[in-house]
Structure 1
Amino acid sequence: MTGVPVSITRRGETIAQDVAGGALVDRFGRVHRDLRISLTDRCSLRCTYCMPEQGNEWLARSSILTVDEIVRVASVAAAAGITTFRLTGGEPLLRTDIVDVTRRLAAIVGPDGAPVELAMTTNGIKLPALLPELIDAGLARLNISIDTLRRDRFAALTRRDRLDDVLAGIRAAADAGLRPLKLNAVAMRDVNDDELIELVEFAMEHDAQLRFIEQMPLDAGHTWDRERMVTRDEMLATLSTRWSLTPVPARGGAPAERWTLDGGPHTVGVIASVTAPFCGACDRMRLTADGQLRNCLFSTTEYDLLPVLRDGEHGGTDAAIDGVLRACVLGKLPGHAINDPSFLQPARGMNAIGG
Structure 2
Amino acid sequence: MIAASPPIDQRARALGVLRMSLTARCNLACPYCCPDAVDPPGLLSLEQQLRLIRVASRLGAHTLRLTGGEPLLSDRLLPLLEQVALGRATPGNPLQGLRQVALTSNGVLLTQERARALRAAGLERITISLDAVEGEVVARMAGLRGGEPAGTRLIQQVLAGLEAARSAGFDPAVGALKLNAVIQRGVNDDQLIPLAMLARQQGLELRLIEFMDVGNRNGWAMEQVLPAAVMVDRISRQWPLSSLGRSPGGTALRWRYRDGVAAIGVIASITEPFCGDCNRLRITADGQAFTCLFAARGTDLKPALTSDDDLEREICALWQRRLDQYSEEGRGQAAFRTSPHAEMAYLGG
1:192 to 1:133, Cα distance in 2 relative to 1, 3 A? same
Structure 2 residue aligned with 1:342: 336
| Residue 59 of structure 1: aligned partner | 39
Q: Partners in 2 of 1:226 and 1:272 — Cα distance?
A: 13
Aligned pair in 2 of structure 1 residues 143, 267: CA closer, same or farther (>3 Å)?
same
1:172 is matched with which residue? 164
The CA deviation at 1:331 is: 3.0
| Deviation of the 1:257 alpha carbon | 0.5
Equivalences, count: 328
Paired with 1:221 and 1:211, the residues of 2 have a C-alpha distance of 24
Note the alpha carbon deviations across 1:252-287, whole angstroms, 9 max, x for none. Answer: 111000011125252110000000001111111100
1:119: how far off? 0.2
TM-score, normalised via structure 1 length: 0.87
Q: Which amino acid aligns with 2:74?
A: R
Does residue 236 of the first structure (1) align with residue 232 of the second (2)? yes
After superposition, the C-alpha distances for 1:41-90 in whole angstroms (9 at most, x for unaligned) are 000000011117xxx463334x1111111001111111111111000000
2:253 is the alignment partner of 1:269: no
Q: Whole-Å Cα distance in 2 between the matches of residues 106 and 345 of structure 1?
A: 40
RMSD: 2.0
Give the aligned partner of residue 218 of structure 1: 214
List alignment gaps of at least 5 residues for structure 1: 3-19, 310-315
Residues 125-144 of structure 1 aligned to structure 2 (within 5 Å): 125-128=108-111, 129-144=113-128
Kept in 2, the 8 Å contact 1:106–1:115? The answer is: no
Equivalent position of 2:346 in the other structure: 352
Alignment equivalent of 2:186, drawn from 176, 183, 190 = 190
Instruction: Give the distance between the partners of 1:126 and 1:321, measured in 2 at CA.
Output: 34
1:102 aligns with 2:86: no
CA distance in 2, matches of 1:251, 1:79: 23
Deviations 1:85-139 (A, max 9, x none): 0000000000023211111123334659455421000000111141111100000
Shift in CA distance, 234/184, structure 1 to aligned 2, threshold 3 Å: same
How high is the TM-score relative to the length of structure 2?
0.88
CA 1:306/1:289 → structure 2, altered by over 3 Å: closer, same or farther? same
User: Which runs of 5 or more residues in structure 2 are unaligned?
Assistant: 145-149
2:54 is aligned with 1:86: no
Which residue identity lines up with residue 92 of structure 1 in the other structure? P
Q: Secondary structure at the match of 1:285?
A: strand
- Give the helix-richer structure, 1 or 2: 2
3-state DSSP of counterpart to 1:37:
strand
Structure 1 residues 116 and 258 mapped into 2: Cα distance closer, same or farther (>3 Å)? Answer: closer
- CA change 1:215–1:76 in 2 (3 A) is same
Which residue in 2 is equivalent to 1:23? 6
Structure-1 residue corresponding to 2:147: none
| Structure 2 residue 287 is the aligned partner of structure 1 residue 291 | yes
- Picking from 139, 145, 148, the partner of 1:155 is 139
What secondary structure is seen at the aligned counterpart in 2 of 1:65?
coil
Separation in structure 1 between the aligned mates of residue 319 and residue 182 of structure 2, nearest angstrom: 28
Do 2:26 and 2:37's aligned partners in 1 also have CA atoms closer than 8 Å? no
Q: Shift of the alpha carbon at 1:216?
A: 0.3
